[in-house]
Amino acid sequence: MDDKDSPSALIDARIRELDDWRGETLSLIRQLIHEADPEVVEEWKWRGVPVWSHGGILCTGESYKAAVKLTFAKGASLDDPSGLFNASLDGNTRRAIDIHEGETIDADAFQTLIRAAIALNMSKSRKKG
């Protein structure tokens, strides 16, 4: 696999390709994830979805016309005291954050969710081992 085909390069390309508020939002989210977890693994799944993992999937970053959707794989098991989750609230497992044009995300609360997702993944992987 060439470097240009690495997940990180593909995510870079997606951000450039969006070339509007969605690209800026995805770039900011990516930066916040890396700040919260310097060991995060970037992946590219399902024909073009950026995925961030650590001991399992933390969240995905999908881009739609009207929103950037951050879906937490095990979001239903995470505490969300700041109320960031605003989509996929009726599912048994996932929870999502939809960010629309002009909206911002509480960086501290988002990073707290990322760290909680890592802790949950690591606790589950320890139980398996």
Residue ranges per structural domain of the chain: 3-128
pLDDT at 97: 97
Phi-psi region of 52 (alpha: psi -120 to 50; beta: other; left: phi over 0): beta
The count of C-alpha atoms lying within 13 angstroms of the C-alpha of 108, restricted to the half-sphere facing its C-beta, is 2
How does DSSP classify residue 54?
S
Tens of pLDDT, residue by residue over 20-52, are: 999 999 999 999 999 999 999 999 998 899 999
Q: Which residue has the tokens 């969710």?
A: 113
Contact (CB, 8 A) for 23 and 15: yes
Instruction: Read off the pTM.
Output: 0.92
Q: How many angstroms separate the Cα of 93 from the Cα of each of 14, 38, 64, 71, 72?
A: 27, 25, 22, 10, 9
Phi-psi region of 57 (alpha: psi -120 to 50; beta: other; left: phi over 0): beta
Contact (CB, 8 A) for 59 and 52: yes
The list of the chain residues with pLDDT below 70 reads: 1-2, 125-129
pLDDT at 126: 67
Q: Alpha helices, DSSP H only, in 74-106?
A: none
**For the domain bounded by 3-128, which CATH number is listed?**
3.90.1150.200
